[in-house]
Chains A and B, each alone.
Chain A
Amino acid sequence: MSETVVLGDEAVALGALHGGVSSCYGYPGTPSTEIMEYLIENSQNGPLASWSSNEKTAMEEALGTSFAGKRAIVTMKHVGLNVAADAFMNGALLDIRGGLVIVVADDPGMHSSQNEQDTRYYADFARVPLLEPVNQQQAYEMTREGFDLSERMGVPVLLRLVTRLSHSRAAIQTQPPRAENALNKADNKQDWMLLPANARRRWSSLLGRQKDMIAYSEKSPVNSLELNESNRERAVITTGLGYNYFMENKGELTDQPSHLHIGVYPVPEEKIRTLAAHVKKLVILEEGYPYVERLIAGLLPRELKIIGKLDNIVPLQGELTPDNVRPALGLPERNAAVASSMTLPGRPPQLCAGCPHDDTYKVIKEVQEELEESTVTSDIGCYALGALPPLGVPETIICMGASITAAKGCAEAGLKNVMAVIGDSTFLHSGMTGLVDCVSSGSDVTIIIVDNETTAMTGGQTTILPSSRLEQVVKGIMGDGEHILTIPAHRKSHEENKEKLRKELAYSGVSVIIAVRECIETARKANKKRS
């Protein structure tokens, strides 16, 4: 079969295309973005692939495709699953028809995220299977397998990636593509309507299928158990990339331990029991939370010693590395051999030179300096970098859409001159509903939508609606009025922009200022394409 070099994300996209997917939905978020980018680029004559307003709408759209009997994939980053959680948790109760694979990319180490949450808990929470690849080849194969498994068990299947795999390149072998499913709408609509009576029946059915899922996990060749009869002291359990770091160090171990790798969940309980009965000590290396470690602590006899994250021998925080798993394996620590003779200043990310957000923040900052008291909340996007030096303007960054609602809370608690900064894409993702709340209660907030006509932080994806429609959306919520302003986010208008901001801060009620200028990166790319 043909061999091709791909990112982990691209391996998933190829697996979906070759697995007969019909619809692909997602919202951009590092490290998951490249899955949809690849699908959009490579599905001109094939399946539908498009960005959605947010992760929840994406999830619901995919459920619709599955209802129609066709295969669907949804992509998002870990915090996106929180946004989609309502649809996800309920989706687990439906009688899934067309295979549904939900790809979630976690970010241990928080390379580009607000938290480190571990998606395996969501799989457990919803009682659905989860597949966790260790490399690009498995990412490809597990995506294909995920559709089959989903159809066989009648549930959505989660595929968990981590940054280190999403954004790493290696060669994969592909298999011949499979055709898309024919249109085949669910015949029993009772199984798709979560009215309490139906939902109780479906919940019972889902609980009843747990044993099938465990049986599948026990049999899966991915969950491989290798017993070393001559070593009864210590064994190793790995999950996710913990496998790679164990294998990397294995050659240095004098006593080869028995080894169980878990890549298919729910966990294979029998295999764990077999391994545990074999040794006195279990070392557990898992990427993310101590999920397996906590789960099995209750399954095993008390005299068995478990070495892992709970006793902090494996770090609780951040990514696993080939270095930080060594103490748990009883190997000597590796240290830096070559040292620098000087202390190095940090170099944090920053807004690009000439970024329109920079001009808007300068307006805010100078107006703030004139005021006795003010508060600025921010959202998730490039403009969050305005919180770092030299600007240092925003005071809160919580989650997608929270700038507007947090500002409402600040103002209603009694803070004066409260401003919320939010991007165009984030506003459409989950800022709109916050604006509805503000309008409904007549909150005294000034909302500044920094509109650079793209989703810039993740690499310049098209916004779900063209920017020209943004003002109409705001007007639709607020009604026409003088407190909806569009201003150019440009140095040339600096003084006028300051005057407008002062005026809106003085107004007691909801104001929306849309500061518009195209992202310099996308403008540059567009220029390059034209020339």
Chain B
Amino acid sequence: MKYDIILAGVGGQGVLSLASVIATAAAEAGFKVRQSEVHGMAQRGGAVMAHMRLSDGEIYSDLIGLGTADMVISMEPLESLRYLPWLSPEGILVTSTTPVKNIDNYPEETQVLEALKKLPSVCLVDDKALARDAGSARAGNMVIVGAASKSLPIDMTYLKKAVDKLFARKGDEVVQTNYKALDLGSQVS
């Protein structure tokens, strides 16, 4: 059993904390986990991408091969398109529909959505609205994790445990908000 995920977004969006919830849950569920990160210059407002590999056997490479990822998870719609070359034909793309327009030549939003809708397997998430429903505009990344959870080989109880572990020191209110964000995300079809 092997599950490869490409994580994408824009520097500063919290892609790494999204990654750590999934990685923590996966480890708790008994998987071996390797996760590469982006640090330094590339983090500042630029495109960021990380590889995460889950397996019940040995994982050698930190990097995922082209056309072999089971899932691409993105916090930004344009960035999700950038990493399609890694997605396997059977793989699924889970992406936020909230654009980050910090470049002059950002394409028309409708154009981006059209391109996304053409994909064989895609889950579009209005994380912004759902995060607000959950009680915090900042819980968008947990909404995305929730939406991904339907396809991930990790049970929701482990994802909630991971939220507990990573957010407990911020207080029960934050934990509850993130639980709710996960649940709302998991209901996205």
Contacts and interface: CB of A to CB of B under 8 A. Distances in A.
A168 B115 contact: no
A322 B65 contact: yes
* Most B-side CB within 10 Å, residue of A33, A247, A322, A337: A337
A349 B67 CA distance: 26
B107 interface: yes
Interface stretch (A83-91, A221-229, A339-347, A432-440): A339-347
B7 interface: no
B32 A171 contact: yes
Interface in B39-97: 39-47, 59-68, 78-79, 81-82, 84-89, 91
A46 B12 CA distance: 34
A244 B60 CA distance: 5
A342 B112 contact: yes
A340 B115 contact: yes
A412 B41 CA distance: 32
B10 A30 contact: no
A503 to B, nearest CB: 33
A358 to B, nearest CB: 12
Interface residues on A, range: 35 or more
Given A322-B64, A334-B67, A350 B89 contact: no
Interface string A156-172: 00000000110111110
A335 B85 CA distance: 7
A337 B46 contact: no
B102 interface: yes
Contacts of B66: 323, 334-336
B87 A337 contact: yes
B118 interface: yes
A457 interface: yes
29 contacts: A5-B27, A30-B39, A31-B40, A34-B39, A111-B42, A112-B41, A167-B37, A169-B33, A170-B35, A245-B60, A245-B61, A321-B65, A322-B63, A334-B67, A335-B67, A337-B87, A337-B89, A338-B88, A338-B120, A340-B115, A344-B82, A345-B106, A347-B78, A347-B102, A350-B44, A350-B102, A351-B45, A457-B40, A459-B39
A336 B67 contact: yes
Contact of B87 (A244, A323, A338, A457): A338
A352 interface: yes
B70 to A, nearest CB: 12
B84 A347 contact: no
A292 to B, nearest CB: 20
Given A245-B61, A337-B87, A168 B112 contact: no
Nearest to B36: A168
B115 A342 contact: yes
Give the 5 A-B residue pairs with the shortest CB-CB distance, closest first: A30-B40, A336-B85, A349-B46, A112-B40, A247-B60
Interface of A: 5, 7, 30-31, 33-34, 111-112, 164-165, 167-171, 241, 243-245, 247-248, 319, 321-323, 334-342, 344-352, 382, 385, 389-390, 457-459
A382 B11 CA distance: 14
A165 to B, nearest CB: 7
B172 to A, nearest CB: 18
Contact of B81 (A322, A334, A344, A346): A344
A169 B39 CA distance: 13
B39 A337 contact: no
Interface of B: 10-12, 23, 27, 32-47, 59-68, 78-79, 81-82, 84-89, 91, 102-107, 111-112, 114-115, 118-120
B44 A352 contact: yes
Contacts of B35: 168-170
B41 A336 contact: no
Contact of A347 (B43, B62, B103, B118): B103
Contacts of B40: 30-31, 33, 111-112, 457-459
Given A5-B33, A167-B38, A340-B115, A349 B61 contact: no
Contacts of A321: 63, 65
B84 A336 contact: yes
Contacts of B78: 344-345, 347
Given A247-B60, A336-B66, A338-B87, 8 more contacts: A241-B62, A247-B61, A335-B66, A335-B67, A336-B85, A336-B86, A347-B45, A347-B102
